[in-house]
């Protein structure tokens, strides 16, 4: 009986085709998310060697049974020590040149491996594999869509809880709990709940500050489903909003909407960033928009493509990216509005579901 | 006014003294936990350069204000790009040789840095700094003790919830929630709840399996407090225990107790592992004890020293380590009993508080 793998068998040849120029006998994948993407293996440690004649997943004894269960069409090799495992696989297969993921190998490992494999040419590959996971297939999109729903549904039912007197930490704890109860495997990253002046830091950790009337409450959060992440930021105002809050919210929302309107296959990521930035600069607030406009989301919460001023990426149908302009006024407060979208041939589908019009929580 | 740093100013000179043999102008710390340990900086990215005349914490714009608030007696340097930041600090200080944490630098970064700093000798340091955090000071011990209490208190009140019909995932979600409500900053690692046959895998992820009468339920979990972790494993039996479960539990408990009895300053980690292993081998179950006996716990949940058959570490007063023998019978079930202890001059203090006698949950 042939068991069906959870991943398409096309992923490995497709990844290899991007690497043709490297001219090596085999490729060594070390980023565990890439290993998962290419094989379906969900363990936390391992390495994948793909050559002209070999497809070998190397794991330690903890993961041998799991790898056999999860991975099909790829040989499983068990090691005691990872470096020794790589060495013996490379030697046994008489490989003379191996490309490796240089961003996923540390220098200690590299120096040991070089010493053990003296006659093998080790070729670092970094940007070549940067974007192999950027375009998602149907299964991946379904998982990301579900992750987005889990997260958004959890925050929506929590809105009544966000009121004067509760702390940032309380909100984060309750939100994480609801996501977990709603089938999230884990949270995408440590949930950010930043209120009042704390929201002037783009990535403040939730603390003991109590919500007050008139506060901005910025919540950046996500859920993981089948390994796939969601990412969304909602900025609410509690009780009443002042004039400046309304003005800046409306500006950030406009930047968000304009950038959105440019999202479709073929659009340049640099240009989308430029659109959001120009909008915010038009009100002299460019200096307060201190980060990129967005990023890809998938097995990692931050992955290719980047939507930023120096990005060379072009959007393709099937990419999933965030659009997240923000304005952070030092010592006052900040506003960020972030949605996650699926890029389509002629537009996009929004995968995060909390409405982004100015919401004043009563 | 001189603001008090949250970390002892002795940590940097103490770390440097371990590295005297390296003969370099300065040391570059990249492991963010080591950076936190040495400076008090709690951000997620940065680098620390310590030379004869320099103490420089390098961070990006997200973290400049936070670094100024948290760190004292160390200059703060803001970079846009980390590699460029390191380059300019090394160049501006005319350093000719720099030791760097090779386990915390990836090969992509290393190759870029080597190219930019052609006339500088970059010396990898790996094992030299392996154990700089192993001996904890009073503040650290207080944080770890509190982390252990948060976790143990949370599981104790959850015992009534563990009964036939609830799933592994339900238990993990409720436990994580209680830890968070009990002041945990986060969980030490993804909580393991493995029931029945799933417990035969040392590190199973909690799933949809429902607890049944007669099940073993193995829970490996921990809380983080002020950055410091706890680590504890409780193995319960639900409803009724059979003869073999009782026998193996009693064997693992004996291995745990014997290893404990050997814990004190001056004891060899290898010897403690040997004691636990010999006990389990005496009943012909050595092949089912597939991992080391323990590890240090602190800013990382796994850190030096290792308590394993090839460990060269010697226990010192102030180290915090786990003792966690286990027996995993393939396709049947597994039992692990883990406590976290503070090593003292003539013995130890247990920092995890759930009683480890055989507990049958009704």
pLDDT in tens, chain A (362 residues): 344 567 888 899 888 887 777 789 999 999 999 999 999 999 999 999 998 889 999 999 888 888 999 999 999 999 999 999 999 999 999 999 999 999 999 999 999 999 999 999 999 987 778 789 999 999 999 999 999 999 999 999 999 999 999 999 999 999 999 999 999 999 999 999 999 999 998 888 899 999 999 999 999 999 999 999 999 999 999 999 999 999 999 999 999 999 999 999 999 999 999 999 999 999 999 999 989 999 999 999 999 999 999 999 999 999 999 999 999 999 999 999 999 999 999 999 999 999 999 999 99
On chain A, the residues whose CB falls within 8 A of the CB of B185 are: 205
Which is it for strands A339-344 and A192-195: parallel, antiparallel or unpaired? unpaired
Is residue B64 within 8 angstroms of chain A, CB to CB? no
Q: How many CB atoms lie under 10 A from the CB of residue B22? A: 16
User: Do the beta carbons of residue A354 and residue A155 sit within 8 Å?
Assistant: yes
Give CA separation, B10 vs A17, A169, B38, in Å: 54, 33, 9
Average pLDDT, chain A: 94
Decide if B124 and A106 are in contact by the 8 Å CB cutoff. no
User: Do the beta carbons of residue B66 and residue B76 sit within 8 Å?
Assistant: no
pTM for this prediction: 0.93
CA dist., res. A338 & res. A356, Å (int): 8
CA B175 to chain centre: 20
The two structure tokens encoding residue B67: 């670094």
Decide if B62 and A181 are in contact by the 8 Å CB cutoff. no
Angle (nearest 5°) at CA A305 between A300 and A307:
115
Instruction: Give residues with Cβ within 8 angstroms of B154, minimum separation 6.
Output: B175, B178, B179, B182, B184, B223
Of B104, B181, B202, the CB nearest to A106: B104
The residue ranges of every structural domain in chain A are: 11-129, 138-361
B/e letters for A94-123, b = 16+ CB within 10 Å, e = fewer, are ebeebbbbbbbbbbbbbebbeeebeebebb
Which positions of chain B have pLDDT values less than 50?
Answer: 1-3
Of A110, A180, A203, the CB nearest to B173: A180
Give the A window 86-125 contacts with B, CB below 8 Å: 100, 102-108, 110-111, 124
Do B138-361 and B11-129 fall under one CATH topology? Answer: no
Query: pLDDT (tens digit, 9 = 90+) per residue, A319-353?
Result: 999 999 999 999 999 999 999 999 999 999 999 99
User: Do the beta carbons of residue B144 and residue B70 sit within 8 Å?
Assistant: no
CA B143 to chain centre: 13
Residue with tokens 């104790």, as numbered in its chain: B156
Give CA separation, A350 vs A151, A152, A266, B27, B186, in Å: 14, 12, 18, 47, 30
Of B102, B106, B202, the CB nearest to A103: B106
Q: What CATH number does the domain located at B138-361 have? A: 3.90.230.10
CA dist., res. B264 & res. B275, Å (int): 14
Closest to B133 (Cα-Cα) out of B58, B227, B47, B64: B227
If you measure CA to CA, which chain A residue comes closest to B203?
A: A62
| DSSP SS3 for B279 | helix
Give domain A11-129's CATH number out of 3.40.350.10, 3.40.190.10, 3.50.50.60, 3.40.605.10: 3.40.350.10
User: Do the beta carbons of residue B322 and residue B340 sit within 8 Å?
Assistant: yes
Decide if B180 and A190 are in contact by the 8 Å CB cutoff. no
Of B62, B109, B177, the CB nearest to A177: B177
Residue with tokens 């290993």, as numbered in its chain: A35
Of A102, A111, A173, the CB nearest to B106: A102
Mutating which of A31, A82, A106 best tests the B interface, going by the most B Cβ atoms within 10 A?
A: A106
Mutating which of B29, B42, B102, B107 best tests the A interface, going by the most A Cβ atoms within 10 A?
A: B107
Give the A window 279-298 contacts with B, CB below 8 Å: 290-291
User: Do the beta carbons of residue B222 and residue B143 sit within 8 Å?
Assistant: no
Which is it for strands A97-101 and A26-29: parallel, antiparallel or unpaired? parallel
């Amino acid at each position: 009986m042939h068991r069906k793998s959870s991943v398409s068998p096309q992923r490995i040849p497709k990844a290899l085709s991007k690497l043709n120029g490297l001219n090596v006998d085999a490729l060594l994948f070390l980023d565990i998310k890439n290993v998962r993407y290419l094989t379906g293996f969900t363990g936390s440690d391992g390495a994948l060697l793909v050559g002209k004649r070999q497809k070998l997943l190397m794991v330690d004894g903890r993961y041998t049974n799991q790898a056999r269960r999860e991975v099909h069409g790829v040989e499983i090799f068990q090691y005691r020590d990872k470096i020794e495992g790589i060495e013996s696989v490379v030697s046994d297969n008489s490989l003379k040149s191996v490309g490796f993921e240089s961003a996923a190998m540390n220098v200690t490992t590299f120096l040991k491996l070089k010493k053990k494999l003296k006659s093998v040419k080790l070729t670092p590959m970094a940007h070549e594999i940067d974007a192999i996971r950027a375009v998602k297939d149907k299964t991946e999109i379904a998982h990301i869509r579900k992750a987005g729903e889990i997260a958004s549904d959890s925050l929506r039912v929590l809105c009544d809880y966000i009121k004067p007197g509760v702390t940032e930490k309380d909100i984060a704890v309750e939100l994480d709990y609801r996501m977990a109860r709603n089938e999230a495997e884990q949270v995408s990253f440590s949930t950010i709940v930043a209120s009042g002046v704390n929201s002037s830091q783009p990535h403040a950790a939730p603390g003991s500050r109590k919500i007050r009337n008139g506060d901005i409450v910025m919540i950046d959060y996500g859920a993981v489903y089948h390994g796939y992440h969601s990412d969304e930021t909602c900025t609410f105002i509690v009780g009443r909003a002042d004039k400046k809050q309304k003005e800046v919210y409306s500006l950030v929302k406009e930047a968000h909407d304009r950038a959105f309107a440019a999202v479709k296959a073929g659009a340049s990521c640099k240009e989308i960033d430029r659109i959001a930035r120009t909008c915010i600069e038009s009100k002299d607030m460019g200096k307060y928009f201190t980060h990129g406009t967005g990023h890809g989301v998938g097995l990692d919460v931050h992955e290719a493509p980047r939507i930023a001023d120096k990005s060379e990426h072009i959007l393709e149908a099937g990419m999933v990216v965030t659009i997240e302009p923000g304005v952070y006024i030092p010592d006052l407060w900040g506003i960020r509005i972030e949605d996650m979208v699926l890029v389509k041939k002629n537009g996009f589908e929004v995968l995060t579901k909390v409405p982004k019009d100015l919401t004043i929580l009563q």
